[in-house]
Structure 1
Amino acid sequence: MTSDARSVKSNRSASSSGATTPASEPAGNIVPASRSGDFMSFLKDVLSFTGDLSSLTCPSFLLNGISLLEYGAHWSDYPHILAEITTAATPEERMKLVARWFVSTLYGSYNKRVAESNSGEKKPFNPILGEQFLASWDDSEYGETTFVCEQVSHHPPVSAIYFENARAGIYGSGHFSQKSKFKGTTMKVVQEGRVTLRMKNTDEFYCLSLPDLNICSILSGKPFLEMSSTTFIRSSKGYTAEFHWFTKPWLYGEYHKFDGKIFRDAAAKFVLDSSSQEQLFTFKGKWVADSLVTDLATGEEKVLFDVQAQPAADIIIKPIAEQSELESRRVWQKVSEALGSGNYDVASREKTAIEEQQRAIRKARADSGEKWRPSMFFWVDDAADEEAVKTSYAYLYSAKDSVGTGSWVYSNSPHLVGKSAGPSAYTSGAQTPSDAFSTAQSSVA
């Protein structure tokens, strides 16, 4: 039985029971006492910097010891929630389950690791070009879910992802990129990209946009993350889910609240509160705790997603010794080990060595005229894609242009099987999707 069939009463009881609910803010200061001077110096650099903050070198004691690619794996943190989408009998119910899954992925990506450790938000490693992260999850009912991620561009940074549950017949691919800057006392992270979710049994797909992020309380050394902006999911059957992510008001209110709605809309482009929208469901709650969905036809209120009632599955990753030289945990092994032991000087040296090696590789490639290409993904302009994909993203583009007009697609995606057109036929502008994705000027190192 899916989680939204649980009673609202039981959800509220679990949510109000106290101690196990994820904290809104971390309690610990992430800055070691011995590094307070370095932290203040770094803050001065950050506050006076006017460009994208990703180009600044971050002190090693502010690093969390994992690659940004690992964050992508949270799209599969709850494999049963992903697989259960395929069990719904109607497109309306499937859209509701897609919305539930989307909320679960955001909790995994942006709060779970901090809530479990009760520590502040730290910076992940910037993946090297071609870096890969591979993982899987086992579920007793739905079987294995697999995940792959590859860094398809370094300047600017773009990560491409693919996940699949073959038994359930559901899979998705997409990409994301982040640009950050200071706004007041908060680091604003604008996310660009998209994820396309597909199902085999209904020949149906869903187009998803990404929220913006706010890293708060940086000046106090206790950073935590809030989500902001509006995001959308558009189905190929004409249904739309609209999410509003709220930051806490300055004086009053709560952290991590959101609300939204699901409606049917036959229009070609999204228009806010258009009369063409047939309202079906509304939802509200906290994306780090629990949320509710209301059926507007019946007035019935059920659980959408409950963090306490939905334990994340254990991720399965090969031992480092069995990983390729491009897999994340092997690439960053020495840096992570040094961070784990608190040896920040060694961590800085090892990180610098990796970065210098990458610069040398890029220079050699440029000198020889070599064009680097990803090994697992290829770029598809919407103009060269399926008509339904193009029209679904065109619907979203008027409201959320950060989805761009093209996608990074997994080369072995099931929807490509049996088609005569492969990557070479699909790819338009070969590795230079600058017109389609505003931050992706080139995927050539």
Structure 2
Amino acid sequence: MNGEEEFFDAVTGFDSESSSGGFSEASQRVAAVMCVDSGRSNGVGKAGERPPRENGIQKHRTSLPAPMFTRSDFSVWSILKKCIGLELSKITMPIAFNEPLSFLQRITEYMEHVDLIHRASCQSQALERMQCVAAFAVSAVASQWERTGKPFNPLLGETYELIREDLGFRFISEQVSHHPPISAFYSEGLHQDFLFHGSIYPKLKFWGKSVEAEPRGTITLELLKHNEAYTWTNPTCCVHNVIIGKLWIEQYGTVEILNHRTGDKCVLHFKPCGLFGKELHKVEGHIQDKNKKKLFMIYGKWTECLWGIDPAAYESFKKRERRGDHLSKPQPDDSSQKADGDVADAVPEVQETVQVIPGSKLLWRVNTRPPNSAQMYNFTSFTVSLNELQSGMEKTLAPTDCRLRPDIRGMENGDMDLASQEKERLEEKQREARRERAKQEAEWQTRWFHQGSNPHTGAPDWLYAGGYFERNFSRCPDIY
């Protein structure tokens, strides 16, 4: 990793070794659309070693072991001004800019609103399935709101697994490449209703005051019951005020979700902030058929909620609005979660919440974050549980799992000195392993994924090779 990459990593909350991808505790709404067999084995631990269960549902922690380490004593500028004239490789950024998660765990946040996938699978009409898939794609970035901490770079060969019987899925990811950095993931429904997979490798651009992460890699969702596959790419994410001022995040760009069986497409426009912040967080778009006829209109905010309405009703409302017919002005969705209005510097003031057009259908609403979220790196309830190492789990996890990383564990426990020392040790161990492979002219061998072509787009992709949950970890590398 060169100095420029390290600089970008430290000041953005994005990795150039990996990237921010990306959900709030997935609710029990999944129970309404599917019956989860709580007796199904998840392959983690033996009888008596599982975490406490209440009414058949596994309990997860609701807070981190230690509160967030304050960043008020640090600023990027205070570090940079001491390094004028030096090469970027000479700049060392404090671990205080991190959050106690690996980027592989951040990718897993895609699954927070997995209930939308289960709901899609239950719909008999293709249009209604696309509505659910569109909501899921938007929900995938919701957890990034106010998350300005940088996830730890995954080490080459690092993995992360998550099994949630209550939410009906299991998930595995692996860092399959170091240069360029690529993270591959695969998830499946425990009731064989879906497959969700992809590989992530963003492109970073530094604009002086901000850093932009342009997504690379295709995300694929397969609804097995309907023999349908959907593909899309996440919007661009930008972190502002990376040098001085309060960090803030916006998502922008066009996301196109294609149903490869029907030819239907959902086109979503993540709006840039705009003048006076009027467009901040807004998402607008539509679903069209293969002949480009609009079938359904979608609008909302990726930080709050998503609504949909028939195109004729939408156009009728817009015409009245243009005529200044304020009698039909929509009412604010007061029940939706409002963003933080305490802003500074160039942070745009958050506008009124989503204006709901009469007759609209609610597609998705973000889950409320825990009351102590600000002291926990602005994590959602779902995110808080991701690095939990439950009793007996270390006996069954792959030795490369993120939960076993001592630097992340040290930071989570509030021991910043230990976390910093372990981070340096692990990075040096990774460099030494790379030097040793170079001496022997040996290529790195991935364990759970292999290079191939996406079966639906034909584009290069990393595909799950299978076998992880059989738990034969004999060939796993020693990376910690």
TM (norm. structure 1) is 0.69
* SS of equivalent residue, structure 1 residue 61: helix
Per the alignment, residue 269 of structure 1 pairs with none
Q: Do 1:198 and 1:205's aligned partners in 2 also have CA atoms closer than 8 Å? A: yes
Per the alignment, residue 453 of structure 2 pairs with 381
Per the alignment, residue 292 of structure 2 pairs with 277
Aligned pairs for 1:360-399 within 5 A: 360-381=432-453, 385=455, 389-390=456-457
Q: Does 1:330 align with 2:404?
A: yes
Question: 135, 149, 159: which is aligned to 1:122?
Answer: 149
Q: Does 1:202 align with 2:226?
A: yes
Evaluate the alpha carbon distance shift between residue 48 and residue 228 of structure 1 in structure 2; reply closer, same or farther with a 3 A threshold.
Answer: farther
Evaluate the alpha carbon distance shift between residue 46 and residue 60 of structure 1 in structure 2; reply closer, same or farther with a 3 A threshold.
Answer: farther
Matched residue type, 1:381: S
Evaluate the alpha carbon distance shift between residue 308 and residue 364 of structure 1 in structure 2; reply closer, same or farther with a 3 A threshold.
Answer: closer
User: How far apart are 1:334 and its partner, in Å?
Assistant: 3.3
Evaluate the alpha carbon distance shift between residue 204 and residue 43 of structure 1 in structure 2; reply closer, same or farther with a 3 A threshold.
Answer: farther
Q: Percent identity at matched positions?
A: 25
Matched residue type, 1:40: S
Unmatched 5+ residue regions in structure 2?
A: 1-27, 31-67, 315-358, 370-379, 468-480
Per the alignment, residue 441 of structure 1 pairs with none
Unmatched 5+ residue regions in structure 1?
A: 4-27, 115-119, 266-275, 394-404, 414-445
* SS of equivalent residue, structure 1 residue 201: helix
Aligned pairs for 1:287-326 within 5 A: 287-296=302-311, 300-308=359-367, 315=385, 318-319=389-390, 321-322=394-395, 323-326=397-400
User: How far apart are 1:129 and its partner, in Å?
Assistant: 0.6
Q: CA-to-partner distance for each residue in 1:305-361, whole Å, 9 max, x for gaps?
A: 111489976856553634333111212x23441464263x44332211111100111
Per the alignment, residue 411 of structure 1 pairs with 465
Evaluate the alpha carbon distance shift between residue 59 and residue 2 of structure 1 in structure 2; reply closer, same or farther with a 3 A threshold.
Answer: closer
Q: CA-to-partner distance for each residue in 1:69-115, whole Å, 9 max, x for gaps?
A: 1111112112222211101111111111100111112213x22xx4x
Distance 1:200 1:366 in 2: 43
Per the alignment, residue 262 of structure 1 pairs with 287
* SS of equivalent residue, structure 2 residue 140: helix
Per the alignment, residue 210 of structure 2 pairs with 186
Per the alignment, residue 109 of structure 2 pairs with 74
Matched residue type, 1:161: F
User: How far apart are 1:255 and its partner, in Å?
Assistant: 2.2
Q: Do 1:282 and 1:295's aligned partners in 2 also have CA atoms closer than 8 Å? A: yes
User: How far apart are 1:127 and its partner, in Å?
Assistant: 0.5
Q: Larger strand proportion, structure 1 or 2?
A: 1
Per the alignment, residue 429 of structure 2 pairs with 357
Question: 40, 47, 51: which is aligned to 2:78?
Answer: 40
Question: 187, 190, 194: which is aligned to 1:166?
Answer: 190
Q: Do 2:163 and 2:169's aligned partners in 1 also have CA atoms closer than 8 Å? A: yes
Evaluate the alpha carbon distance shift between residue 202 and residue 62 of structure 1 in structure 2; reply closer, same or farther with a 3 A threshold.
Answer: same
Q: Does 1:233 align with 2:257?
A: yes
Per the alignment, residue 97 of structure 1 pairs with 132
Distance 1:204 1:69 in 2: 27
Per the alignment, residue 433 of structure 1 pairs with none
Q: Do 2:165 and 2:190's aligned partners in 1 also have CA atoms closer than 8 Å? A: no
Question: What number of residue pairs does the alignment pair up?
Answer: 344
Per the alignment, residue 118 of structure 2 pairs with 83
Q: Do 2:114 and 2:136's aligned partners in 1 also have CA atoms closer than 8 Å? A: no
Matched residue type, 1:370: A
Evaluate the alpha carbon distance shift between residue 46 and residue 305 of structure 1 in structure 2; reply closer, same or farther with a 3 A threshold.
Answer: farther
Distance 2:268 2:99 in 1: 29
* SS of equivalent residue, structure 1 residue 193: coil
Distance 1:73 1:45 in 2: 36
* SS of equivalent residue, structure 2 residue 276: coil
Distance 2:84 2:202 in 1: 17
* SS of equivalent residue, structure 2 residue 215: strand
* SS of equivalent residue, structure 2 residue 100: strand
Q: Do 1:79 and 1:137's aligned partners in 2 also have CA atoms closer than 8 Å? A: no
Q: Do 2:135 and 2:306's aligned partners in 1 also have CA atoms closer than 8 Å? A: no
Higher mean alpha-carbon deviation, 149-158 vs 316-325, is at 316-325
Q: Do 1:174 and 1:194's aligned partners in 2 also have CA atoms closer than 8 Å? A: yes
Matched residue type, 2:360: E
Distance 1:130 1:198 in 2: 26
Per the alignment, residue 442 of structure 1 pairs with none
Matched residue type, 1:379: Q
Distance 1:280 1:48 in 2: 57
Aligned pairs for 1:15-34 within 5 A: 31-33=71-73
User: How far apart are 1:136 and its partner, in Å?
Assistant: 2.0
Distance 2:381 2:412 in 1: 26
* SS of equivalent residue, structure 2 residue 121: helix
Distance 1:46 1:157 in 2: 29
TM (norm. structure 2) is 0.64
Q: CA RMSD in A?
A: 3.3
Distance 1:372 1:46 in 2: 37
User: How far apart are 1:298 and its partner, in Å?
Assistant: 6.3
User: How far apart are 1:134 and its partner, in Å?
Assistant: 0.6
Q: Do 1:67 and 1:124's aligned partners in 2 also have CA atoms closer than 8 Å? A: yes
Matched residue type, 1:31: R
* SS of equivalent residue, structure 2 residue 155: coil
Q: Do 1:63 and 1:124's aligned partners in 2 also have CA atoms closer than 8 Å? A: yes
Q: Larger helix proportion, structure 1 or 2?
A: 1
Q: Do 2:203 and 2:215's aligned partners in 1 also have CA atoms closer than 8 Å? A: yes
